[in-house]
Amino acid sequence: MSILVVMEVVMEQSRLTWHRMSWEALAAGQELGRQMDLPVAAVVLGQGIAALAAELSAKKLDKVYAIEHDLLAGYTADGYTAALAGLAAQVNPTLVLFPHTYQVRDFAPKLATRLGKVLISDVVRVRLEEGGLVMVRQLFQGKLNADYRASGAGPHFASIQAGAYRAEMVEAGSAQVETVTPVLEAAAIRVKVGAPFRESQRAVDLTAAELIVSVGRGIKEKDNIALVEELARVMGAELAASRPICDNGWLPMERQVGSSGQTVSPKVYLAIGISGAIQHLVGMKGSKAVVAINKDANAPIFEVADYGIVGDLFEVVPALIEEVKKAKGL
């Protein structure tokens, strides 16, 4: 009976460090540990991870598991799944939490399946209710919320959405490190993984922009991009886009904001025809002010908007171009 939080490690400038979302998952674990009165342990996997484990030992935890093996030096779904399935068998946790990262999406469903369980993915809140745990997640790209309940004996698995819990809520303390040597065979790792790379140097740095005009699916056609381009020009803003616009080749990938693009925090983020799927929101919700123009009053973008205009962008944007020109004396 315990809660396990699986921390994610990333390589940055050839040294191992934490994926920032790991701390958010750990904060969730500590909060649930208090509510459920269960011991909480953190898990780190890899090779040469003693320093990372030591860092975890200064947190309020009942234990730190350091799963150390040469075959875990680089991430593979096969290696991680085997190592964590072994630990789960040994510890028999009630609940296993992960940060909902790309890497977790790659192996956590596999791990849960191996144990005959279901991972509840991309969870925004975990609540303790009579009769068990309720996990809240979003449906239809954030348009609706849903309560999920995991029944039966554990372990239950959940991955925590970016920003759902706050990393700075992680409590300090002290914990013992237990180094675990998993049983892994090279032949069991079926894929060969190359080193991470970037396509090219980014020509557009949106992270430094003070003003961003961003466009989404609502623009309908490539030829209409010129309209928002004109607005960006008169405002003196950088032009950005949600993923589908870049997928269609209407704007280059380097102008994409979101989990697979850039993370921005301008003074004003003007979202035009963007519905506000979570993959987009994680890239811009740090903006000081968010303005959204969308025809659907229920679009999730309004969840994060300070100012909202419900209307037809093809009427509002041309009018806005004129008004901005007037305001700037152009």
Show contacts with another protein in window 237-256 (CB under 8 A): 243-244, 246-249
Q: Segment contacting another protein (CB under 8 A): 35-43, 48-56, 110-118, 178-186?
A: 110-118
174 burial type by CB count under 10 A (0-12 exposed, 13-18 middle, 19+ buried): exposed
Least distance from another protein to the Cβ atom of residue 6, Å: 16
> Does 287 engage in binding with another protein (CB under 8 A)?
no
Q: Is 322 in the site for another protein (CB under 8 A)?
A: yes
Measured from the CB of residue 177, what is the shortest distance to another protein in angstroms? 28
Q: Is 13 in the site for another protein (CB under 8 A)?
A: no
CA angle at residue 284 from 282 to 287, to 5 degrees? 135
Give, to the nearest 10 degrees, the angle between helix 225-235 and helix 313-327: 20
149 binds another protein (CB under 8 A): yes
Q: Looking at beta carbons only, is 53 or 304 nearer to another protein? A: 304
CB of 26 to another protein, least distance (A): 19
CA atoms within 13 A on the CB side of 305: 21
- Among positions 36, 55, 62, 110, the unique one binding another protein when judged by CB under 8 A: 110
Choose the stretch contacting another protein; rule: CB under 8 A; options: 24-32, 168-176, 220-228, 290-298. Answer: 290-298
Contacting another protein within 254-273 (CB under 8 A): 259-263, 267-268
Burial (Cβ within 10 Å: 0-12, 13-18, ≥19) of residue 286: middle
Nearer to another protein, 45 or 53 (CB): 45
- Of residues 15-54, those binding another protein (CB under 8 A): none
Name, in order, each residue with C-beta under 8 angstroms of 209's C-beta and a sequence gap of 6 or more: 237, 238, 240, 264, 266
CB of 41 to another protein, least distance (A): 23
Between CA 50 and CA 248 the distance in angstroms is 45
Contact (Cβ atoms closer than 8 angstroms) between residue 163 and residue 176 = no
Q: Considering beta carbons, is residue 61 or 274 the nearer one to another protein?
A: 274
Residue 202 interacting with another protein (CB under 8 A):
yes
* DSSP, res 200: S
From 24-32, 35-43, 175-183, 293-301, span contacting another protein (CB under 8 A): 293-301
Q: What are phi and psi of 107, to 5 degrees?
A: -120, -25
Q: Is 298 in the site for another protein (CB under 8 A)?
A: yes
By the rule CB under 8 A, 305 interacts with another protein? yes
Distance CA(93)–CA(230), nearest Å, equals 56
**List 15, 37, 70, 139, residue binding another protein (CB under 8 A):** 139
DSSP result, 261-299: SB----SEEEEES----HHHHHHHTT-SEEEEEES-TT-
Rounded Cα distance, 206 and 68, in Å: 39
Nearest to 273 by CA among 219, 234, 222, 211: 219
Q: Which positions from 176 to 195 touch another protein by CB under 8 A, shown as an x/- string?
A: --------------xxxxxx
Q: Which lies closer to another protein via its Cβ, residue 75 or residue 180?
A: 75
Residues 148, 161: Cα–Cα separation, whole Å: 15
Q: Judged by CB under 8 A, does residue 172 bind another protein?
A: no
Checking DSSP bridges between strand 177-180 and strand 211-215, what pairing results, if any? unpaired
Q: Is 226 in the site for another protein (CB under 8 A)?
A: no
Is residue 171 close enough to count as binding another protein by CB under 8 A? no
